[in-house]
Every structure is written in C-alpha cells, then in structure tokens.
Amino acid sequence: MAVYPPQPTKEPPISARGPIAWIRHNLLSSPYNIAFTILGLAILYWTVPPFIKWAVIDAHFAGDSKSACTGGGACWVFIKEKLDMFLFGFYPHDQLWRPKSVFAAVLALGAFAKFVPGLHRLKLTLIVLFPVFAYLMLHGGHFGLSLVETSKWGGLLLTLVIASVGIVLSFPIGILLALGRQSKLPIIKSLSVFYIEFVRGVPLITVLFMASVVLPLFFPEGVNFDKLARALIGITFFEAAYVAENIRSGFQAIPKGQYEAADALGLSYWQKMGLVILPQAIKVTIPNLVGTFISLFKDTSLVMIIGLFDLLAMVNVTANDRDWLGMDTEGYVFVAFIFWIFTFSMSMYSKRLEKRLDTNNK
Amino acid sequence: MANETPTQTQAKAQETPQATHISKEDPKAVHPLGEPMIRLENVNKWYGDFHVLKNINLEVRKGEIVVVAGPSGSGKSTMIRCINRLEEYQEGSIKVKGIEVNNDVKNLKKVRANVAMVFQHFNLFPHLTILENLTLAPVWVYKKPKKEAIETAMHYLEKVNIAEQAHKYPNQLSGGQQQRVAIARALCKSPDIMLFDEPTSALDPEMIGEVLDVMVKLAEEGKTMITVTHEMGFARKVADRVIFMDAGQIVEENDPETFFHHPESERLQLFLKQILNH
C-alpha cells in the first residue's frame, strides 16, 4: 500500500492553447478541413473586397442629385435624399414630426423601462397607453392634429406598425387557441384544431387577399373599413395559429407533475395555466416564438400586393422616380440592412431573455 | 383482520382504528383519535378495462397515521390520488370531512383546501423561488395578504430546516432539500390531512433521513397522514396502522407490531420476506 503526495497544477502545453492551437484544431485538423478552409477563404476573397469597394470606397455620399454619382460605386445620395420616403412613405412632409415623435417615444419608453428601477405599475400603464398615444399621433383627427389616412402611411413606419400590432395581438389569441387545443371540452378542442389547421394550410397572401377583397363583401353597402385595419386583422389571425402551435409545443415540455401539483394546491384552471404552466411553456418556446415573430416581421412585405407600401415597396416607388432611375440596387441593399438590424436585434433579445429566465443555473 | 372479504372489511372499518390505537403503547396516545376525516366506501376504479382499485374500504380518523405498503402496481398511489381527485373513480364514494369527492367544483375546492399532497418527484415549480412556491397558493387561492403568506412560509421553511434557501430556485437545491420544501409548501395552506405519495423513492440514500425526520416530526404533532412508502422503518416508528395492498385491493391492515412480526396473510408474509431479507 502507498500514500501519494498532492500533485501541483501545471499549465497545459503551448501546443494545446492559444490561437495557433485553435487554428490547428478547428481549421486544419484533416485534409477535408484544410480544403474547406481554403474554399471558405476564396469565397470571402471573391465577395467581400468587391462589396466593400462598391459600398464604401467607390461610393458617393455627397451631393443632392443623381449627377453627383459618377463612376461605378454605390450612390448613397439616393438613400439620403429619399430617406423620409423609406421611413414614413407618403406621410405628409409637414407632419413628419408626428411619426418622429412616436419613434422617439418608443426609445424613451424603452430606456425608461430598462434603466429606471421599480415603478412597475407606472411602466405598465405607460406601455398599455402607448398604442393609444401612437394611434392618436399618427392618425390624428383629434386635438387639432390633421387627419392622416392610413393609406398615406408607408415605409418603415408601416412595417413596424403591422409587425408590432401583429405580434402583440396574435400572442394572446395564440395562447387562447393553444389552451383551446388542450381543452377537455370536445367542441372547443375541435374548433381550435380546425382553426389552427385551416389557417396553417393557407398562404398568407390568400389571407391578405381575402381580408382586402372578400371581407368587404360581407359589410353593408357604404361601410368602408380601413384597408390597413383589414390587413392587420388578417395578419393577426394568421399569426395566431402559428403562435398557438409554438405554445402547444411548450405545453408538451411541461411534466404532468406540474399540473398535478397545481391541482393539489387547489389552483383553479386559469390560475394553474396562468401562474404555473404558461410561464414555463412560454419560456421553453421562446426561440420558436421569436422565430415566428421574425418571419412575421419579414412577411409584412406581402401587404404590398393589397396596395400598402411598406419598407420594401418603397424601393419600387423611389427607384421609379424619373430623377433616380436605376437605383434599385442601393434601395434593396439599404432595405435589406434595415430588415437585418431589426430581425437580428430580435434574435439577440430572445437569447438574452432565455438566459435571464433560465432558473436552472442561476 | 387479515384476508377478509370486502364486506367484512367494511363492517369492521368502524371499529378498527380505535382498536389498533388502544393496543399501542407509544407516546402518540396523548393524541386521541378524533372524528373520521377520510372515508372510502366500496371504491372501484378502472383504467380502460383494467380494474385498478377493487372495492376499497378505508376510514382514517383525525390524527391517525396510516402507512400504505405493497408491491408496485398494486394501486396504492392510485388510491391516495383518488382522495384529492387527481384521479377519478367510477364506483363507490370517497368523503373528506364529510364532503363528497366528486365532479362538483365547490366540493373539490373544499376538499383540496383540506388535503395537501407531497409527491415522489417533488413537483416544485422551477420558475419560482422557494418562497414563491410556498406563497403561490395562499396568496392566489386562499387570498391571504402577501405579508402574512410570507410569514407563514418562512415559519414552515424553518420547521423543515431550510429557511436560508428561501430565495433560491428549486433546481439549485438537492433532492432532499427539494422534498422538504415540497412538504413546507403543502403545509402552508394548513391542511387537515397530508398525503405522501412515495416521498423518498426518488431520493439518493443519504437524503432519505432528512425527509423522514420532518415527516416524523409532523406525525408526532398529530397531523392526519396517509403515506405510501417503502420505508418500513418509518412505518414501524410512527404508524398507527399499516395497510398492505396487492393487485388493487387491501389485503391486510394491522398495527405495525402485528403487521411486521405476525403477518397473517401469505401474500404479506412473502412481501415482507422480499423487502426485508437482504
């Protein structure tokens, strides 16, 4: 028998740490890996430098007309000149302070909610009141503000209105549908299943067409229902079906014991669902939900086909301006960049939310 | 008392508890058994065609500690889960403090306010802190002021020796700690009856003791308890009555002394041999 003295801890050898080890392990570990590394570098070499040359080095930033853009680079002057169109569509020029102050209010509210601790009741009130404020500001017709028809709304403003209304309203409806699909009452259950499966079997374009063309047929003559409102209703009910399926997948991840414990404690159905099951189900389904919301955000572009001009549609409008013909490329690159900023922020936010709500490793 | 037909059991059910109690010599005699708290009469239950509970008759009086033993699949968990209606039964009647356990929502609410349950897998709510787990039902269901609910919760957390963990989340605790929290959560609504469904079966061996200690403490305070367990040491120590179930029916019920040392039915003799002799 023997007794062993404690061993000192040593640093790993140089070949197992540092950037060189990382490169050897991750990029050059096998012949295939070497081949893919070379291929990847070649693709980067062929695409990135020309794009930077076009978008930055040869690009034109100064000036106020197409004549300022000579040579091959991108003509960002176009974006600069048409920025208001991209952001607000046909919103009257002298009223642009209204959507601008709504944007500013969003930022202020977000900063207030994030950086000021406590005051939960005030924050909640402000968040609930915000849509009313935004509607009054944008639509006007009261308090001395001139009326701006929703058909004049466009660009990023319209995209954000559709996406945020769609997300905020489809969420509770989706929850109700998901609960309905779990219900023990056969009628509620089969109605929910029928609705979800029907909507998921229909393309969004069809829903929008129906909302815009077929729905008015059911209204009495002379009633003209706002086109944007119809699109919002269509998108909301469309997305609700997808949200419902996401949340249902969350329900399935909740062990039976959670329901039993809630029952045994005496919680009612709504207390059990609202306090115990849904918070956990939504938590596990955040990545899917955000995925759904990201695709909703991008799908808002489809409203183009019923004559609403969202951010993407504004490229067509602005590049058809006789003074700016042929500027489609700059327009699409710009719009793609804006879409990317929003969708990327959403997925970053969902990652942070997941981390924050993770009670397993706190 | 053993190997009776269901009708005999039923007939004897009235006198059994007192009889067993009087024959006991332990300090629990200071808590005389009170009025009937739970009464099961000819309860039958089926899962599809499978007859899981066969003519169960059982009466539990106030302050009585009943331990239910038996091989797995014998219906012991199913039986106690019928008492707070986590399971439905198809025939017979179950009464808790005279209230019929049935589909009536009002009855169910009263029953569940009186009966608390501790589960094999703890079933704490992982998204809530320990303290929030304990105050959830008192605040939302029983409409207690939050401050009072927190005080009660801390009282019971201290009782199960875990007060310092109040602000952690369940998954940060060991199994034994989680089960003690689950017991405290069950106590928070001041139930008259505690049901324990194999409370130590999912625990690592070194943690069983701490949970049993808490349960013994409760038993000594005179709480009415029905415990499904394989911990025969616990049954010997605190039970007023031990029930042996097999194949969906109560096969034998006796005071612990007779149950363990002079089992009457062959089936129980075999069971005891299997669990004790190794």
Cα separation, A134 vs A141, whole angstroms:
13
Q: Is the pLDDT of residue B22 over 60?
A: no
Read off the DSSP letter of residue B67: E
What's the pLDDT band for B244 if we cut at 50, 70, 90?
A: very high
Q: Which of A111, A210, A198, A128 is nearest to A168 (CA)?
A: A128
Q: Is the pLDDT of residue B20 over 50?
A: no
CB within 8 Å of chain A, chain B residues 128-147: 136-137, 140-142
In the beta sheet, which residues pair with residue B190? none
Residue B152 CB neighbours (<10 A): 19
Cα separation, B240 vs B227, whole angstroms:
12
A101 touches chain B (CB under 8 A): no
B150-163 pLDDT tens trace: 999 999 999 898 88
**Mean pLDDT, chain A, as a whole number?**
84
**Mean pLDDT, chain B, as a whole number?**
85
* From A267, A280, A360, residue closest to B171, measured CB to CB: A360
* For A268, nearest residue in chain B (alpha carbons): B141
A163/A325: higher pLDDT: A163
Cβ-count burial A158-172 (b if 16+ within 10 Å, e if not): bbbbbbbbbbebbbe
Give the three-state DSSP class for A105: helix
What's the pLDDT band for B120 if we cut at 50, 70, 90?
A: very high
At A120, list the tokens: 């939960």
User: What would the mean pLDDT of B85-109 be, rounded to a whole number?
Assistant: 89
Q: Which of B40, B24, B73, B42 is nearest to B241 (CA)?
A: B24
Please give the pLDDT value at position A155. 84
Residue A105 CB neighbours (<10 A): 15
Q: Which of A5-9, A63-67, B216-220 has the lowest mean pLDDT?
A: A63-67
Cα separation, A309 vs A157, whole angstroms:
10
H-only helix segments in B115-204: 130-140, 146-159, 175-187
Cα separation, A70 vs A322, whole angstroms:
17
Which residues in chain B have their CB less than 8 angstroms from residue A263's CB? Answer: 84-86, 112
Q: Does domain A66-91+148-360 have CATH number 3.40.1080.10?
A: no
Residue percentage of chain A with pLDDT more than 70? 98
**Residue B13 C-alpha, separation from nearest chain A C-alpha, in angstroms:** 27
B240/B18: higher pLDDT: B240
- Strands B224-228, B193-197: pairing is parallel
Hey, are the CB atoms on B112 and A279 less than 8 Å from each other? no
Which residues in chain A have their CB less than 8 angstroms from residue B172's CB? Answer: 362
Q: Which of A44-53, A64-73, A90-99 has the lowest mean pLDDT?
A: A64-73
* Location of structure tokens 């801390």: B154
Please give the pLDDT value at position A301. 87
Give the three-state DSSP class for A327: coil
Residue pair A264/B185 in contact (Cβ under 8 Å)? The answer is no
Hey, are the CB atoms on B169 and A360 less than 8 Å from each other? yes
In the beta sheet, which residues pair with residue B244? B69, B252
* For B112, nearest residue in chain A (alpha carbons): A266
Please give the pLDDT value at position B43. 92
Give kind and range of the element (H or E) at residue A190.
helix A186-200
Handedness of CA A225, A229, A235, A236 (dihedral sign): negative
ipTM of the complex: 0.84
Q: How far apart are the first and last CA of chain B?
A: 28
Which residues in chain A have their CB less than 8 angstroms from residue B183's CB? Answer: none
Mutation for testing the B interface, residue in A265, A272, A286 having most B CBs under 10 Å = A265
Which region, left, alpha or beta, applies to residue B80 given φ > 0 means left and ψ of -120 to 50 means alpha? alpha
Give the Å distances, CA to CA, from B258 to A314, A324, B239.
89, 100, 12
Please give the pLDDT value at position B30. 47
Residue percentage of chain B with pLDDT more than 90? 53
Please give the pLDDT value at position B65. 92
Give kind and range of the element (H or E) at residue A154.
strand A154-154
**Residue A144 C-alpha, separation from nearest chain B C-alpha, in angstroms:** 46
User: What would the mean pLDDT of A269-283 be, rounded to a whole number?
Assistant: 91
Q: Is the pLDDT of residue B21 over 80?
A: no
* Single-letter code of the amino acid located at B117: M
At A247, list the tokens: 């949340």
Hey, are the CB atoms on A266 and B112 less than 8 Å from each other? yes
Cα separation, A150 vs B222, whole angstroms:
71
Domain definitions of chain A by residue range: 15-57, 66-91+148-360
Hey, are the CB atoms on A268 and B136 less than 8 Å from each other? no
- What's this model's pTM, rounded to 2 decimal places? 0.80
B185-231 pLDDT tens trace: 999 988 999 999 999 988 888 889 889 998 998 888 888 999 999 88
Cα separation, B236 vs B97, whole angstroms:
27
* For B134, nearest residue in chain A (alpha carbons): A265
User: What would the mean pLDDT of B120-146 be, rounded to a whole number?
Assistant: 92
Hey, are the CB atoms on B84 and A276 less than 8 Å from each other? no
* Location of structure tokens 């109560």: B250
Please give the pLDDT value at position B278. 57
Read off the DSSP letter of residue B250: E
CA A38, A44, A47: angle at the middle one, nearest 5? 140
Burial class (CB in 10 A: 0-12, 13-18, 19+), A277: buried
A95/A4: higher pLDDT: A4
A269 touches chain B (CB under 8 A): no
Residue pair B146/B135 in contact (Cβ under 8 Å)? The answer is yes
In the beta sheet, which residues pair with residue A309? A154
Q: Which of A320-324, A332-336, B63-67, B214-218 has the lowest mean pLDDT?
A: A320-324
Read off the DSSP letter of residue B15: T
* From A271, A360, A362, residue closest to B140, measured CB to CB: A271
A302-316 pLDDT tens trace: 888 888 888 888 788
Q: What is the CA radius of gyration of chain B?
A: 18
Alpha carbon B1 to chain centroid, angstroms:
22
Please give the pLDDT value at position B16. 41
**Residue A272 C-alpha, separation from nearest chain B C-alpha, in angstroms:** 10
Please give the pLDDT value at position A316. 81
Give the three-state DSSP class for B194: strand
A148-203 pLDDT tens trace: 777 778 788 888 889 989 899 999 999 999 999 988 889 999 999 999 999 988 99
Cα separation, B170 vs A360, whole angstroms:
8
Hey, are the CB atoms on A266 and B142 less than 8 Å from each other? yes
Give the three-state DSSP class for B213: helix
Residue A283 CB neighbours (<10 A): 18
Q: Is the pLDDT of residue B18 over 80?
A: no
B22 touches chain A (CB under 8 A): no
Q: Is the pLDDT of residue A27 over 90?
A: no
What's the pLDDT band for B54 if we cut at 50, 70, 90?
A: very high
β strands within chain B, DSSP E = 36-47, 50-61, 65-69, 91-96, 99-100, 115-118, 193-197, 224-228, 241-246, 249-254
A201-255 pLDDT tens trace: 899 888 888 888 877 777 776 666 778 888 888 889 999 999 999 999 999 999 9
Cα separation, B249 vs B232, whole angstroms:
20
